[in-house]
Copies of this chain bind each other. A is one copy, B any other.
């Protein structure tokens, strides 16, 4: 099963464009021949990739290679940028997300944590309760519960439990990022996208978040961009290596790190320790 997926994707990276591959039915997210342009500038080239449910997929690659761009196509955050054009298809739960018009539903199902913490200028509580409230949950008790669970889940509860009502912007960078994670968790999404979620965290928080990811894997499908090879190695089941907007290699994480097929992948993953 996973072998099929892999094969398909390894082919995909060689960018042949015949579309007659079979669909694997258990893939949560299926990306096929995705091109993305920022105006004239192409940022993704024929990206194809299947992501299995309840697995953690890591995206690695050098700066500017298109990891964030790709990640943001999965919940259509790129829609916000003027002049972005997309070819190809992305299917989540057998539904082409670029055909379906319900972006809102998509985004409630596909949560996201950004590279830079982006808390709103509200209290910590209001930040975490923001999503649920917008879904119509008004009940005070239910909200309290969601907020506490989410903050605990993001390993930040103890630090902020006494100041839930004070501004979230008074927190340090690392604290803020963990509240961002809590905010995403509060939506109880199916899929969680994380764009270098721990790049602003210290190792202890990072560890907690990584543990959290491992635990969330039971319920959620997770796609994570990271620069940290060890993190990729520790948390992910599959790893995709991007270079200049293409997927060079996509495989079981173990394979990618121990016996990459592509020389460039090897250079990259070993460069770290070289």
Point out residues on A near B: beta carbons under 8 Å.
60-65, 68, 115-116, 159, 171-175, 178, 196, 199-207, 227-229, 268, 271-272, 274
Contact = CB atoms under 8 A, between A and B. Distances in A.
A235 to B, nearest CB: 14
Nearest to A172: B64
A171 B61 CA distance: 16
Contacts of A268: 203-204
Given A64-B171, A206-B227, 18 more contacts: A62-B174, A63-B173, A63-B174, A63-B178, A63-B202, A63-B205, A64-B159, A64-B172, A65-B202, A68-B173, A115-B200, A116-B173, A174-B227, A199-B199, A199-B200, A202-B227, A203-B228, A207-B274
B201 A63 contact: yes
7 contacts: A60-B202, A62-B202, A63-B205, A64-B174, A115-B173, A199-B200, A203-B271
A42 to B, nearest CB: 15
A43 B130 CA distance: 30
As for how many copies of this chain the complex holds, the number is: 2
Contact of A203 (B68, B171, B199, B229): B229
Given A199-B200, A271-B203, A175 B116 contact: no
Contacts of A171: 64
A68 B171 CA distance: 13
B207 A271 contact: yes
Given A68-B172, A199-B199, A200-B199, A207 B63 contact: no
A229 to B, nearest CB: 6
A265 to B, nearest CB: 13
B62 A205 contact: yes
A209 B175 CA distance: 26
